[in-house]
A and B are shown apart, each in its own frame.
Chain A
Amino acid sequence: MTARLDEAYVPTDRIQYFPTADEIEVFKTAAEQKLAVMLKGPTGCGKTRFVEYMAQELKRPLVTIPCHEDLTASDLVGRYLLKGGETVWEDGPVTRAVKMGAICYLDEVVEARSDTTVVIHPLTDHRRELHIDRLNQTLKVPDNFMVVASYNPGYQSVLKELKESTRQRMVGIDFDYLAPEIEVQLLIAECSVSESIAQDLVKLALAIRRLDSGALSEVASTRTLVATARLINGGIAPRRAALACIASALSDDPEVIGGLEEMIQNYLQLQY
């Protein structure tokens, strides 16, 4: 794994964010107190958007690391590369984030092996330092550096769990889907659909979210609603859009899709 994993992200457009509870306050205080934060919540409920928004609010750069099984400690910290017989040191994303004083965002952190995630331990406790073995260097972590991890306690933890010692270093913020009224506002603001379409989409999502967990492993997230609304905005008929972005995205089982299709036909009108 030698590919660059990230670029420091400094948002250009202003990011909109619709809070679900007091998460902004908790995050801000955790940032002031130099604590690491763990965002928990179902897929597509806005965890990544929240981090981007907070980076914007706190005026800090954001370094995102999508975690996966093959991620190694040297992928995070850095390694030597060979360039024409010479060896050149290349910082990993964590090292870069430390040097920049950025928010270091480990997306889907459970996907990484637990022996990789221990790299962040000395960064997040009282030590606040990063030791780079290969360089025999110790970097002092600046005050505005912050570790944020996200994970989905539903599906992913089926296969993997976060190491207890990693968990306990973080402040947990739980996310859930937005309240219906706010989700309607979000769809209108984000995708410029009419209020009636937004309302019906949210009602549909609510109905799907009420379903027993047995039939579906994931429910219709805000992300799928945004995708549906975008397709509708782009000229696709509402039911077709919902079929593509919700039913088809949630399941491969023809019976389940049939059931979802029936729900879509009930909740969405043919035309608006």
Chain B
Amino acid sequence: MHNLDFLASAIAGRSVTVQEIENNSLTDNTYTDGTSIFVDKALTGQQQRDAVLFQALLLGCNSLHKQIARALIGRPGVARQFLVLEIYRCLQLNAGQLPSSLLSRYAHPARIPITSSAEASLKLAGNRSLKLEVRPEFGVIRPMALRNLESPAKGGALSQRELEGKLNIGFVDEHDEDEETGTSKLLDMLKNPLSSGNNALSRALNDILGGGSQKGKGEDDDEGYGSVPMDRAVQTVLSNQGTRQKLPGDAAPVPTVLQESQAPFKYPEWSDNTQSYTSDHCHVMEYEPWEEPQNLKHLGLDHSHQLTHQMTRVGVEYQFLKQQPTGEDFDLDALINHSIDLTTGHSPDESIYRLSKKTRRDLSTLMLLDISGSTKDINEVGISIHQQQAVFVEALAKALSRLGDQVALYGFHSWGNRLVRFMRVKSFGERYGRKIERRLEQLRPSGYSRLGAAIRHATYLVERQRLTHHRLLLFVTDGFAYDDGYEDRYAEADTVKALEEARNKGIACACISIGSDKTDRGLVKTFGETAYLRCDKIAELPKKLRKHLQGAIASAAG
């Protein structure tokens, strides 16, 4: 987190992050793409603050929505003048909300006209005779980075594309454009954007081919490789597997490997065909989600309060139980009341003891979040399954941490047996905080789910957690396991086996599906009726969850 994040978000009226960038060119400094503000490192501290404020202000005043951005593409001169006009307009418009020192430092020069709206500024900015001075703190407008920015007034939340970070397009040199014509050849690119709405088509195909929600991996990929059996990013990863070096820009970024040794954890897999284990078949690596600030959270579906409300009751017991009929010690208040009752001739309450039970919270929970590509599926209100799952696990992790429980949270996905990735959002030892939430925001669904290997590694992680008596492995997914050479009966048998191994070690296993509209028979079969919980809507979950988890824990303990 950058220290200026809060300030920028407060001014912009939405969550934005601040990143420092190095720039060679003097003119090309601070800019925004609508979700992040990129601030020039070369500026001094105060200049940086001001620069961030100006960009946030433009976002907050909705000066950079896509119609305007598109009109500015290829017209850097106009963009510069527009920037100056808008900054002074917004400064005046929002004087009541801005730091007074900022207002005094950027007093409005009399010769710069104050326009009435962003559109008016745009019109006026076309006038070449204005010759407005751009101060270095003003930064620049990069219309290409903003060309899909929805006005918050209309869209409310960020669009899905923005949420997926698709706004971070590569650098396009706008200065190459022919300024005289006032139009841009880049516009052609816009007319044929990469994501030409192939979702409906791929969904239809998927339905025709009878694929469940799991089989159409990558169907929502904007790059349009939905029909390829593997994501392009995946293939790159696979082909680079030996060296695992830098990947091309659009592929999954290389995360930091967490293990001291680079060697993967190796786990066997149960083969239904041979009725035996294939040893060292699956390779699991742990990573920390990479630093690439995004704004994924708070999409107007913040159920965390409600969830927390219920979560907090999971396993809560009183440390001391007062007014008990039996116990080790007298409950003084109750004893006095008893004595008073006797004196006044009432029939006394016999519960005068204090019972100290083993009430310390005694639970470690490892949450395993399925971040395979299918969780990118979007429901009818435009929220992906991944979003719903992430909001849920965050709320649960927060609630359990608040209760003092041991909580760990990992995301997992896989690309075949040799590449099972564990993304560490929170390990058992870490404190819950913003850092954890940020890592969660950085998870990007892709790939497939090799559940058996994931359960085995999770079991290994939970097993090391010997401090508590009860241990829970909570698996959050949208559907049954599917991976390269891992489907149907084979996958089912291996998952059952892996769960059996975990339960034999006294670890409770439970599974939750959020946002899927039908009960997944595979999951019911592998986890069992009682350990599987499905919810269409996240709002329904809190009501059912407590019983569900308590049941799972009780069955493991028994």
Contacts and interface: CB of A to CB of B under 8 A. Distances in A.
A269 interface: yes
Contacts of A87: 340, 343-344
Interface stretch (A36-44, A122-130, A251-259): A251-259
Contact of A158 (B308, B333, B340): B308
Interface in B296-319: 297-298, 302, 305, 308-309, 312
Nearest to B432: A253
Contact of A263 (B6, B13, B312): B6
Contacts of B53: 266
Contacts of B98: 203
A200 B333 contact: no
Interface string B272-289: 000000000000000000
Contacts of B100: 196, 199-200, 203, 267, 269
Contacts of B97: 203, 206-207
Interface stretch (A18-26, A168-176, A211-219, A228-236): A211-219
Nearest to A268: B99
Contact of A259 (B1, B305, B340): B1
B433 A180 contact: no
B434 interface: yes
Interface in A54-108: 74, 79-82, 87
A212 B435 contact: no
Contacts of A258: 1, 3
Contact of B10 (A180, A210, A269): A210
Interface string A195-206: 010011001001
Contact of B5 (A154, A158, A259): A259
Nearest to A260: B6
Contacts of B102: 266
A262 B4 contact: yes
Given A203-B99, A215-B434, A158 B312 contact: yes
B49 interface: yes
Interface residues of B, number: 40
A134 B98 CA distance: 62
B7 A180 contact: no
B337 A79 contact: yes
A207 B308 CA distance: 27
- Mostly, the B contact residues are helix
Interface string B330-349: 00010011011001101000
Contacts of B36: none
A73 to B, nearest CB: 12
Contacts of B7: 207, 259, 262-263, 266
Given A207-B10, A262-B7, A82 B343 contact: yes
Contacts of A199: 100
A134 B11 CA distance: 60
A208 interface: yes
Contacts of B1: 255, 258-259
Given A158-B305, A207-B97, A214 B433 contact: no
Nearest to A263: B7
A82 B99 contact: no
Given A2-B333, A211-B10, A253-B433, A259 B344 contact: no
A159 B15 contact: no
Contacts of B333: 1-2
B344 A80 contact: yes
Nearest to B10: A207
B3 A213 contact: no
A8 B437 CA distance: 47
- Chain A, interface SS category: helix
B101 interface: yes
B193 interface: no
Given A82-B336, A180-B96, A259 B6 contact: yes
A213 B298 contact: yes
B55 interface: no
A139 B371 CA distance: 63
A262 B9 CA distance: 12
A79 B3 CA distance: 55
A203 B99 CA distance: 7
B298 A214 contact: yes
Nearest to A88: B340
Given A87-B343, A214-B437, A159 B309 contact: yes
Contact of B6 (A157, A180, A203, A211): A211
A211 B5 CA distance: 10
A269 B100 CA distance: 9
B355 to A, nearest CB: 16
B336 A266 contact: no
Nearest to A209: B10
A255 B434 contact: yes
Interface in B6-50: 6-7, 9-11, 13-15, 49
Given A80-B340, A82-B336, A253-B434, A215 B6 contact: yes
Nearest to A208: B10
Contacts of B101: 266, 269
B298 A212 contact: yes
B532 to A, nearest CB: 27
B338 to A, nearest CB: 11
A133 to B, nearest CB: 10
Interface string A239-272: 0000000000000010110111111011101000
B51 to A, nearest CB: 12
7 contacts: A161-B309, A200-B99, A203-B98, A208-B10, A210-B10, A253-B433, A262-B3
Interface of B: 1, 3-7, 9-11, 13-15, 49, 53, 96-102, 297-298, 302, 305, 308-309, 312, 333, 336-337, 339-340, 343-344, 346, 433-435, 437
Interface of A: 1-2, 74, 79-82, 87, 134, 154, 157-159, 161, 180, 196, 199-200, 203, 206-208, 210-215, 253, 255-256, 258-263, 265-267, 269
Given A87-B343, A265-B49, 5 more contacts: A80-B343, A214-B298, A258-B1, A262-B6, A263-B10
Sorted nearest first, the 6 A-B pairs with minimum C-beta distance are A259-B6, A207-B10, A80-B340, A262-B3, A267-B99, A266-B99
